[in-house]
C-alpha cells in the first residue's frame, strides 16, 4: 500500500526525462534537415516566392493610312477583379459590387463560386473593359471593398461600324493550338496576337515585345520593391497603302449592299481601298466576344467574317471578256472577226442566248470593239469557239485568274480557271466543247476573286504589266516579316500596242451612252471599264426553284480603270445580287470620282506614298487633312473624329463608353 507522502516512481520520472530528450532530438533533427542539409533548396524557394517577374505589356503598333492618318489605335482599358485573400465575405459584398459594376448580383456570386477552386492568390476577373463610372466606383470604395481592384491594359481601338474591318482584321488571345505551332514558339499564353487580316499578317511587326520587371511582392501580389527592369519594346506602327479618303468613298458606295470593292494602283500593286460587305465590328472582339455574338457571325449565311475582296470565288461574268479580247487579239483571231448577233446562236448542237434578248433587242453586226462595250455574248461565244479552251485557259492563267495574287493578307483563295487538264484531274471527265462557249462569257466553272480581276484587268490596261498587290509598303517591312509568295512581284505579258488601244478604247465606251454602263458616266473623267453580270445558278434551275427570289439574283461586276491607258487606279466591284453590271459600275464611279476630286486638289499624285504630315505615336487621334480640320482630337478613351464632310464617321467610342 502507498502512503500519501510516498514519492512517485523515480524510474518513471527518469523515463519521462528520456522521452523529452527524445522529442528534442527529433525536433533538432527536423531543424537540421531543413536549415542545414537543404537550406539551399529552401532559400531558392523563398527567393522564388519573394521575387516575381511582372510583365510590362508592350503596346501594339498603330495602323496608319498612306498619309499617316491613324486607322487603328490603342486605348487604356481597365478590368475589375476580385482579390480573395482579404478574409472578407465576398458573397455578402456581392450586392454592392454588382450595383457598382452594373452586373447582376447572382452573376457575381456565380463567378465567385465558379472560380473558388483557383488558388487564393489568383484574382477573379469580374468585368473587362469597365466604364469610367465603374472605375470611379472602384476607386471610391477602396476602403469599404478592399477586395475589389482594377488592372490596366492596352486594347485595340478599331474604327466603328465595321469600317475597313476585313482588311484590318482583329486581335485575340493566343490559343493553345497556335502555341503548339512552331511560328508561335516564343509566344506565351495570354499574349494578344492578330487573328485575321493585317493584324495577323504583320503580327510580328505590330506586336512588340513585352518587357518584364523583377519585383519583390507580398503573398497577395502587392509590389513592395522593384529590383530591375527590362523595358518593353513597343510594336512598330505600320503604314498601309490604303488611302482613307478612298476607303471612305468605297465604304459609302457599298453601304449595306453585299459584295466587295478593291481599288488598286496597277503601277505598284498598292491597295488603295478594300471593302467587303456585310461587315462586323472588330471592337466586339477587342474585349471578349460573347458566344452568342460569335455564333451569329459564324453561322450568318452572308458570311460577315469573310473578306470577299480576296475570299469570294465567283463567276466573273462578262468582265472575263477583257481577257477573252486580249487573247483573241494577241492570237490574231479577233481583229477581223465580224459576227451577226440575232439574240443567240447555236454551238455544238446547243442554243446559247445573248443577254440582249432580255431587252427584246438584237446586236446585229458586232466587231471586237462593239463586242466589248455592248458586251455581246454571241461575239464572245464565237471567239471562244475559235480560240478553244486551251488558249483561253493559257491567257487567263497568265493573267493570274484561278490563282492567288499573293497579296499580303491571310487566307486568300485561288478560284478556278478550268481547262482540259483541270477537268480530267478533278472530275476524271473529258472536256465538253460546249463548256468552252460558257467560259467565253465568264460563266461555267470559272471562279475568280475581285482582287484577281483588279490585277488582271488593271494589268491589261497597263499594257500587260501585272503587279503583285500589297497593303503594306514593302520598304517598311523587314525581310523576316515579309510574307513569302510564289507570285513574282511583276509579271510582264507584253500586249501589242494596237491591241492595247483597241481594248482600252472599247472599255472607255462602256461608260458612254452606247455602252453597258452609260449610267455610270463621269463627265470630264477618263473612266473606262467592263461590266459583268454573272448567274449564280443556271437559268433553268432558277426558273424551277425560286421565282425572282433575291438569293438567286445575278451578281453584278464592274472593273474600272482611270484613265483608260496606264491607269493610276483600277477598281473592281462585286455587287452580289446587283442584277446588272451597270449598278456595280455606279459604285466604282463613286470611288473614281473621289479619287479624281482628291487628285485635282493636290498638286502631287495621290498615289505617291508619303503624305503631307506624319502623325506621332501617342494617344491623340488626328487627321491632318484640311477638310476635316476641327473636332478631331479627344482624350484617351474618348476617341471621336468629326468627319461631317463625309457621312460616315471613322472613329468609334471605346466599347462600353457612352
Partner 1 sequence: MSRYVSFRDFDWPLLGFVLLICAIGVTEIYSATLHTKFAGAHLKQVYWIIGGVIGMFLISLINYQAMLEQVHWMYIASVASLVSVLVFGQKYLGARRWIKMPGFHFQPSEWVKLILILAMARYFAEMRHKDLSWSDFIKAGMVVGIPMLMVLAQPDMGTALTYLPIAVMGLFLGGLRLKQALAVVMLAGMMLPIGLKVLKPYQKERLTSFMNPEADKQGSGYQVIQSQIAVGSGGIWGKGTAKGSQTHLAYLPVPQTDFIFAAFSEEHGFVGALAVLLLYFIVLMRLTQNAQTAPDRAGAFIVMGVVAVLSFHILVNIGMVVGFMPVTGIPLPLMSYGGSSVLFMFLALGIVMNIRMRRFVN
| Binding positions for partner 1, rule: CB under 8 A | 1-2, 4-10, 12-13, 15-17, 19-21, 23-24, 26-28, 30-36, 38-39, 41-43, 45-47, 49-50, 119-121, 216-220, 224
As measured in angstroms, the least distance from the Cβ of 102 to partner 1 is 32
Nearest CA-CA partner of 59 in 284, 232, 286, 186: 232
CA–CA separation, 143 and 139 (whole Å): 9
Which lies closer to partner 1 via its Cβ, residue 116 or residue 295? 116
Compare residues 24 and 427 and give the one whose CB is closer to partner 1.
Answer: 24
C-alpha cell at 558: 464592274
CB 621, CB 638: distance < 8 Å: no
Q: CB 229 → partner 1: shortest distance, Å?
A: 20
Nearest one of 355, 358, 396, 359 to 379, comparing CA atoms: 355
Q: Any bridge partners for residue 80, and if so which?
A: 127, 150
For residue 261, what are the CA distances in angstroms to 69, 249, 307, 397, 527? 21, 10, 10, 22, 16
**Residue closest to 137 by CA, chosen among 78, 83, 97:** 97
- Element containing residue 380 per DSSP (H, E): helix 377-398
Q: Which contacts of 311-314 are long-range, i.e. CB under 8 A and separated by 24 or more positions?
A: 311/411, 311/412, 311/413, 311/449, 312/260, 312/449, 312/450, 312/574, 313/413, 313/414, 313/415, 313/416, 313/447, 313/448, 313/449, 314/447, 314/448, 314/449, 314/534, 314/536, 314/555, 314/574
Least spacing, CB of residue 80 vs partner 1, in Å: 23
CB atoms inside a 10 Å sphere around CB 297: 17
Query: Residue 82 or residue 454: which is nearer to partner 1 going by CB?
Result: 82
Q: Which CB sits closer to partner 1, 117 or 186? A: 117
Q: Helices in 51-152 by DSSP H: which ranges?
A: 90-101, 105-114, 132-140
> Among residues 40 and 185, whose Cβ is nearest to partner 1?
40
Listed residue (348, 335, 331, 454) closest to 394, CA to CA: 331
Q: Cell 514519492 maps to which residue?
A: 7
- Kindly state the smallest distance separating residue 108's Cβ from partner 1, in Å: 23
CB nearer to partner 1: give 33 or 600. 33
- Write out the E strands in 14-144: 51-56, 63-64, 70-82, 124-127
* 3-state DSSP of 384-422: HHHHHHHHHHHHHHHCCCCCCCCCCCCCCCCCECCCHHH
Q: How far is the CB of 83 from partner 1 (least distance, A)?
A: 13
Residue 264 C-beta: closest distance to partner 1, Å: 57
Identity of the residue, 24 or 348, whose beta carbon is nearer to partner 1 in the bound complex: 24
CB of 26 to partner 1, least distance (A): 7
Q: How far is the CB of 576 from partner 1 (least distance, A)?
A: 55
Closest to partner 1 by CB, 85 vs 496, is: 85
* Choice between 52 and 521, CB closer to partner 1: 52
> Smallest gap, in angstroms, from Cβ of residue 198 to partner 1?
41
31 versus 484: smaller Cβ distance to partner 1: 31
Least separation, in Å, of the C-beta of 223 and partner 1? 11
Nearer CB in complex with partner 1: 26/484: 26
DSSP symbols for 577-631: T--SHHHHHHHHHHHHHHHHHHHHHSSS-TTSSS-S-PPPSSS------GGG-SS
Torsions phi, psi for 413 (to 5 deg): -105, 165
Is-contact 215 223, C-beta < 8 A?
A: yes
Taking the complex as a whole, the smallest distance from the CB of residue 137 to partner 1 amounts, in Å, to: 25
Least CB distance from residue 210 to partner 1, whole Å?
Answer: 25
| Closer residue to partner 1, CB minimum distance, 42 or 348 | 42
Amino acid at each position: 500500500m502507498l502512503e500519501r507522502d510516498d514519492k512517485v516512481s523515480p524510474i518513471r520520472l527518469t523515463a519521462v526525462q528520456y522521452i523529452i530528450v527524445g522529442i528534442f532530438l527529433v525536433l533538432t533533427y527536423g531543424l537540421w534537415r531543413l536549415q542545414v542539409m537543404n537550406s539551399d533548396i529552401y532559400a531558392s524557394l523563398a527567393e522564388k516566392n519573394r521575387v516575381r517577374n511582372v510583365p510590362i505589356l508592350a503596346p501594339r503598333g498603330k495602323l496608319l493610312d498612306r498619309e499617316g492618318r491613324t486607322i487603328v489605335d490603342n486605348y487604356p482599358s481597365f478590368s475589375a477583379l476580385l482579390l480573395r485573400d482579404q478574409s472578407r465575405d465576398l458573397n455578402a459584398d456581392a450586392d454592392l459590387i454588382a450595383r457598382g459594376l452594373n452586373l447582376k448580383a447572382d452573376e457575381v456570386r456565380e463567378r465567385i463560386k465558379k472560380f473558388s477552386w483557383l488558388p487564393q492568390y489568383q484574382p477573379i476577373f469580374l468585368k473587362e473593359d469597365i466604364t469610367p463610372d465603374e472605375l470611379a466606383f472602384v476607386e471610391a470604395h477602396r476602403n469599404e471593398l478592399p477586395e475589389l481592384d482594377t488592372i490596366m491594359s492596352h486594347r485595340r481601338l478599331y474604327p466603328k461600324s465595321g469600317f475597313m474591318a476585313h482588311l484590318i482584321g482583329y486581335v485575340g488571345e493566343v490559343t493553345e493550338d497556335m502555341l503548339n505551332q512552331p511560328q508561335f514558339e516564343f509566344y506565351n499564353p495570354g499574349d494578344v496576337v492578330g487573328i485575321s487580316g493585317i493584324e495577323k499578317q504583320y503580327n510580328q511587326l505590330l506586336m512588340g515585345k513585352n518587357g518584364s520587371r523583377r519585383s519583390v511582392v507580398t503573398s497577395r501580389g502587392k509590389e513592395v520593391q522593384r529590383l530591375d527592369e527590362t523595358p518593353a519594346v513597343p510594336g512598330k506602327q505600320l503604314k498601309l497603302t490604303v488611302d482613307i479618303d478612298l476607303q471612305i468613298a468605297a465604304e459609302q458606295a457599298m453601304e449595306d449592299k453585299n459584295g466587295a470593292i478593291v481599288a488598286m494602283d496597277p503601277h505598284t500593286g498598292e491597295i488603295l481601298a478594300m471593302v467587303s460587305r456585310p461587315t462586323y465590328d472588330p471592337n466586339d472582339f477587342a474585349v471578349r466576344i460573347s458566344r452568342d455574338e460569335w455564333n451569329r457571325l459564324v453561322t450568318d449565311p452572308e458570311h460577315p467574317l469573310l473578306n470577299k475582296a480576296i475570299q469570294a470565288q465567283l463567276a466573273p461574268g462578262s468582265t472575263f471578256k477583257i481577257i477573252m479580247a486580249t487573247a483573241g487579239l494577241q492570237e490574231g483571231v479577233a481583229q477581223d472577226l465580224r459576227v451577226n448577233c440575232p439574240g443567240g446562236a447555236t454551238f455544238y448542237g446547243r442554243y446559247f442566248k445573248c443577254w440582249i434578248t432580255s431587252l427584246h433587242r438584237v446586236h446585229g453586226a458586232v466587231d471586237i470593239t462593239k463586242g466589248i462595250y455592248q458586251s455581246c455574248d454571241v461575239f464572245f461565244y464565237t471567239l471562244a469557239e475559235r480560240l478553244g479552251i486551251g488558249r483561253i485557259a493559257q491567257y487567263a492563267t497568265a493573267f493570274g485568274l484561278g490563282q492567288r495574287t499573293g497579296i499580303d493578307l491571310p487566307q486568300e483563295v485561288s478560284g478556278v480557271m478550268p481547262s482540259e487538264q483541270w477537268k480530267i484531274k478533278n472530275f476524271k471527265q473529258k472536256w465538253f466543247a460546249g463548256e468552252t462557249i460558257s467560259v467565253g462569257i465568264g460563266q461555267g466553272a470559272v471562279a475568280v476573286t475581285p482582287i484577281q480581276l483588279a490585277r488582271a484587268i488593271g494589268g491589261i490596261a497597263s499594257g500587260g504589266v501585272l503587279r503583285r498587290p500589297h497593303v503594306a509598303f514593302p520598304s517598311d517591312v523587314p525581310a523576316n516579316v515579309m510574307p513569302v509568295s510564289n507570285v513574282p512581284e511583276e509579271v510582264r505579258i507584253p500586249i501589242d500596242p494596237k491591241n492595247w488601244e483597241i481594248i482600252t478604247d472599247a472599255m472607255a465606251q462602256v461608260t458612254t451612252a452606247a455602252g453597258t454602263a452609260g449610267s455610270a458616266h463621269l463627265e470630264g473623267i477618263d473612266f473606262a471599264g467592263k461590266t459583268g453580270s454573272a448567274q449564280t445558278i443556271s437559268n433553268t434551275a432558277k426558273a424551277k426553284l425560286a421565282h425572282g427570289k433575291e438569293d438567286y439574283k445575278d451578281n453584278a461586276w464592274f472593273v474600272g480603270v482611270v484613265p483608260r491607258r496606264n491607269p493610276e487606279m483600277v477598281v473592281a466591284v462585286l455587287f452580289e445580287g446587283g442584277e446588272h453590271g451597270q449598278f456595280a459600275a455606279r459604285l466604282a464611279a463613286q470611288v473614281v470620282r473621289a479619287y479624281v476630286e482628291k487628285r485635282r486638289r493636290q498638286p502631287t499624285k495621290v498615289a505617291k506614298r508619303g503624305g503631307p504630315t506624319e502623325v506621332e505615336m501617342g494617344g491623340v487621334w488626328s487627321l491632318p487633312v484640311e477638310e476635316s480640320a476641327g473636332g478631331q482630337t479627344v482624350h484617351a478613351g474618348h476617341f471621336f473624329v468629326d468627319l461631317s464632310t463625309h457621312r460616315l464617321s471613322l472613329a468609334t467610342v471605346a466599347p462600353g463608353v457612352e
